[in-house]
Structure formats: structure tokens, C-alpha cells
Amino acid sequence: MSVQGAFALATGSQAEVSSYKANAPVPESRGIDPTMPEGLVAIRFLLPLIGCVAALAVGWFITCDPNPLTMITVLAGVLMCSTALFNPILGVYLLIFTSGYLDLVKRLGILSDALSGIDVVVTLALAPVLFVAICGGVLYRNIMRRVWLSQWQVWLAVAITLAMGAVFFDALHDSAGVAYALKDFANSGVYLLLILVGCFLFPSVPSVQRLLTFTLVVYLPVGLYGIWQQIFGLADFEIDYLNSGFTIDITVLEDPILRTFSTLNSPHALNITMAMLSALAFFVPLSRGKRGRWQILVGLIFAVACGTTFVRAGWVLFLLAFVIWICSRWKVTTISMYAAIVVGFVLLFANADALLQSLGVVESALPQNNEMQVEAFHVATFSDRLVSFRNVMTNPAFHTWFGNRDAGLLEQDSQEYLAHDQIGQILVSYGLAGLTLFGVVLVLTLWFAHRAVFRQQDQLKREILLGLVSVELATILSGMLFGSHLGIFPVNVLFYLFASAVFTVGRNAQPPPPLVSALDSRAPAATRKAVA
């Protein structure tokens, strides 16, 4: 307080004192704002304290285990599953990101020198647990919003449930216990629900385009890293992991030419994934009603990454997708394409023995000048498929109504029971009844897809459908030739995700407007005359 102010307060009248207090400068605040509510005051001081305590708890949780990376994965899994329960759309995006890099996280665990089988199991369980949380989030949201299944969704849900039940019982019968059956079921059956979940969460064409674009962007580093591996070789931690005994892909180190696997679990998984995404980038318009120039670059990167694996199943998949994309534009070429496919499979199965004996002659006629050409044109590896085709036609053990488990168990002991293609695997597991059911479901699904394409008047939706159907059908046909791809992670995630997009875009089909009846008195006279 100034001397003048003290003098005024001591000697002045009441009016002077009031005048001084009114005009006195407001002192600078150095404490708590008295206008701040008490709750905000508490939060202001408690939040930093709570953050410090939480950081200490998380740090202790991470460091209490010999492998801190596993503890970080557990914390990330809890956070992602919680997010998926409250926002399942974001959960699907997290699932896509997780599917591309989960195996890399597993391999990085070798850096701690304390990697164990439990760490591997915990890491690999993250994706299916996250998907279960997504399903729970969708169920909770639909109950709260009172959203029920429509008629077509009911039939789709019934078909998916039956398929999941068949896969689980098959896995239970072939496994040593429930735990092993659940592990096999997580790879082969649980992601079937993604078809129905995707229809709920991404019901519009723009939402599908955003989802597919995000998928391409997320997997772009996966393709680039595969190319990097082919040029510069494997990293030290990847070699250490391959030699650790936690993977069966140690043969990668024995091949004369490196079969890259990037951030995925095997060259086969990388090969099929890159082929699917390359076809998706080339054939599906994702940029404002057209294919963006960036899609061509991304598609080329994925195609090169597919080639670096030296797995021929993906190469065939891409070629099939291109042929299907061209032929499915018109009804005549579509019918001709399916007739050629049926005739081709019949001839392939009927002449499997003759083709098996001529593989050596075919291989000798192909370029064999260096190790890369030898690896690329080593067609003798197709002999297992031809043996499987021959067994389907000639071995009575494959000709049962409901499957032959004994034939499946004898597969490792004798080539007479080898089932290395999708048709043979279905016959061994489910018999002629299962193969018939598979064929009926496949035909009905393809009929729906092509019907949606031909009915679609919107050019953008038509092109999206053409591209997606091409990728899906090519994946199935490639699996029939080389063995099913749908039990391989993350191929199964991408396949069922694209299938949900087909249902979404196909359900939004716009049929051509009906002709105006000439007998309708409300129609204009000119229209009635034109119709007549």
C-alpha cells in the first residue's frame, strides 16, 4: 500500500476511503483464482499426482516381467480392447493395423533375451481378443440403439454361425485339446464374423472407400520392408528369432534365394497378402469416384513385394484377379469364364497323373541360368498339388459322405492320402456332403455378387464391386490350386473384410428404372405412345 493510500485511510472521510478502494490497482494473482470452482481446483492439483502414480504403476508393471515388450503389448491390448468396446469402428481400424505388424512385435521380443512360449502366445492372442471386443462393441451399440437384424442379415448370420460351428468342431477333432482347438479356430473361423460386423459398421460406399484406403496405407510399409529384405537381407534379430525354435519357418535360412516375409509370419502370408492388396489398388477406385494415381504406385510396390517372396500362389492369384476383372463386365464373358474354370479344373484333376510325370520336362524347358531363375521356375514344387488332385479322383478314402479322419492322420505317412488343395482338404474333413454344401454356398454368393454388378447403374459402385469380386474369387481359386489361404493370418482378416464390403456395396445396388406401362392413365401421352 502506498503512503498516500495509508494517509487517506487514516485521516480521510468515508467517501474518500471508498473512492481509493475503487480506484486502487488490482494486485497480480499469485495463488488460486478465487473464481475457480472447488472441483476444478481439486482436478488442477490431483491430475498431475494421478498421472505420476499411473506412470509409476505402468513402469512397474512393464519392468516386473523379464520381457518388457510383452508387458507393453498387454497394456496396448487392454487399451485397444477398451477402445473397441466403446467405438467398434475405431476398433476395426486398430485390428487392420495390428494384423500387419503383430508378428514383427513377436519377433522383437527376442531382443530381451527372455522370450518364451508364453510371450509368443500372448502376442498372437492380441488380434483375436481385439476382434472379440469389436464384436462385443457392435452388439452393445445395436442393443442400445435398438438396431435389429434385417432379413438378409439374419440369413447371413445363420450361414456364418453354421460355418463357424463346422470349423470349430473340425479343429476340436483334430487337436489335442480345447486349447489347441481354440488356437486353430482363431485362425480359421472366428474372423468369419467380420463379414457381418463390417456390414453394420461400414454401411455406406464412402465408409468402405475410407476403410480400403486405410488398409492400403497401413500395409504399404509392409510391402516396402519386404523389398528392403530382398535387397539388404534379414536383420540380426530376425535371424536370431528364426534360430530360436519358436517358428517352423527356419527353412527360410536354408533356401538359396531369400523368401522374404517382411512383418508377417511367413513368405506365404506376405505373398498372398501383397497379391490381394496389389489387385485391390489397381482395380478398385478409391479417390473421388476414380482410381487415383497414387493407387498405381502403391499397386506396383505391392506387386514387387509379392514377387520377392518367390511363392507362386500369389502370382497366380493376381493373374486370375486380372482375368476375372476383365471378364466380369459382361454376362456373356462371365458365363464363358466360369465354363472355362469348370472345364479347366475337370481336365486338371483328370490328367493329374500325366502332368505329374511331365513336370521334369516342363521345368527343363524353362530358364535355369541362375539361382533366381531356378527358384522362380521351380515347378516341381507343384507336384504335391498334382498328387492331391490324383488322390481326390482315385483314392476311395476321399470318397466318403461326412469326411475321413483316418485319411487326414495318414497324410504325413503316405502320399496316397496327401490333401494339398482346398477341394481335397474339404473332402478329407467334411466329405462329399461338406463339399456339396461348400459348392452351393459359393455358387449362391457368386450369383449375388455378379447380380449386384449387372444391376448396378452407378458407375462408381459397379467398379468397386468388380474389383472386390475379382480379388475375392481369385483368392478362392488360388486356394483351390495351392491349398486354402483362409487359415492364414492376416489373409483371413483381409478376405472377410473385403467380403463385407461386397455385401455393403452390393446391397446399395440401384436397379434400372421400370418401364412405364402404356396402360397407366397417369403417364404422359408421349410416353404412352412411345411404349405402344
pLDDT in tens, 89-107: 999 999 999 999 998 888 8
Give CA separation, 100 vs 216, 255, 262, 451, in Å. Answer: 11, 25, 10, 33
Question: Looking at per-residue confidence, does 220 or 249 come out higher?
Answer: 220
311 vs 33, higher pLDDT:
311
**What is the rounded distance in angstroms from the CA atom of residue 494 to the CA atom of residue 161?**
19
CA distances from 485 to 264, 367, 475 (A): 14, 29, 7
pLDDT score of 169 = 73
pLDDT of amino acid 68: 74
SS3 of 287, please?
Answer: strand
State the pLDDT at residue 34: 55
Please give the span between the terminal C-alpha atoms of the chain, in angstroms, as a whole number: 103
Higher-scoring residue by pLDDT: 130, 419: 130
Where residue 179 falls among pLDDT bands split at 50, 70, 90? Answer: low
Averaged pLDDT, 391-410: 74
pLDDT at 32 over 80: no
82: pLDDT strictly greater than 80: yes
Domain ranges within the chain, ordered by starting residue = 56-148, 189-507
Nearest to 429 by CA among 448, 410, 404: 404
pLDDT, mean of residues 347-351:
85
- When pLDDT is cut at 50, 70 and 90, the band that residue 296 belongs to is very high
Q: Per-residue pLDDT averaged across 444-461, rounded?
A: 87
φ and ψ of 418, to 5 deg: -70, 130
Query: CA 415, CA 404: separation in Å to the nearest integer?
Result: 16
Residue 469 has pLDDT above 50, yes or no: yes
Average pLDDT over residues 454-473: 91
Burial class of residue 71 in the structure, from the number of CB atoms within 10 Å of its CB (0-12 exposed, 13-18 middle, 19+ buried): buried
**What CA–CA distance (Å, rounded) separates 411 from 417?**
5
Q: Is the pLDDT assigned to residue 450 strictly greater than 80? A: yes
Q: Output the pLDDT for position 121.
A: 82
How confident is residue 111, by pLDDT bands cut at 50, 70 and 90?
A: confident
Q: Residue 181 pLDDT more than 70?
A: no
Alpha carbon 206 to chain centroid distance? 19
- The mean pLDDT of 362-389, rounded to a whole number, is 67
pLDDT at 366 over 80: no
The set of cell numbers assigned to 345 is 479344373
CA 193 to mean position of chain CA atoms = 12
- For 182, the grid coordinates are 481354440
Q: Cα-Cα-Cα-Cα dihedral of 296, 301, 302, 306, to 10°?
A: 130
Which burial class, exposed, middle or buried, applies to 256 when counting CB atoms under 10 A from its CB (0-12, 13-18, 19+)? exposed
Q: Which residues contact 417 (CB under 8 A, 6 or more apart)?
A: 391, 395, 397, 407, 408, 410, 411, 428
How far apart, in whole angstroms, are the C-alpha atoms of residue 271 and residue 424? Answer: 22
What does the DSSP 8-state code read for residue 25? P
Instruction: Judge contact between 392 and 398, C-beta under 8 A.
Output: yes
How far apart, in whole angstroms, are the C-alpha atoms of residue 304 and residue 226? 9
**Set of cell numbers at residue 460:** 462408381
Nearby residues of 436 by Cβ (< 8 Å), 6 or more positions away? none
Cβ within 8 Å of residue 190, ≥6 positions away: 128, 131, 132, 164
Q: What is the mean pLDDT of residues 423-445?
A: 84
- Which of these, 201, 84, 82, lies nearest to 145 by C-alpha position? 201
What is the share, in percent, of the chain residues with pLDDT greater than 90?
26
Lowest average pLDDT, out of 84-88, 372-376, 469-473, goes to 372-376
- Please choose, from the candidates 214, 213, 218, 215, the residue with its C-alpha nearest in 3D space to the C-alpha of residue 288: 213
Confidence grade of residue 324 (pLDDT, cut at 50, 70, 90): very high
Burial of 132: CB neighbours in 10 Å, binned 0-12, 13-18, 19+:
middle
- Please report which confidence band the pLDDT of residue 522 belongs to, taking 50, 70 and 90 as the band edges: very low
Give helix 205-232 / helix 459-482 axis angle, nearest 10°: 40
* Average pLDDT for 80-86: 90
Give pTM, 2 decimals: 0.80
Q: Name the least confident of 55-59, 331-335, 468-472, 527-531.
A: 527-531
The total of other beta-carbon atoms located within 10 Å of residue 517's CB is: 12
Confidence of residue 60 (pLDDT cuts 50, 70, 90): low
pLDDT score for 41:
52
To the nearest whole percent, how much of the chain has pLDDT over 70? 72
Q: What is the mean pLDDT of the chain?
A: 78
pLDDT at 527: 41
**H-state helical runs in 148-292:** 151-174, 178-188, 194-201, 205-232, 236-242, 267-283
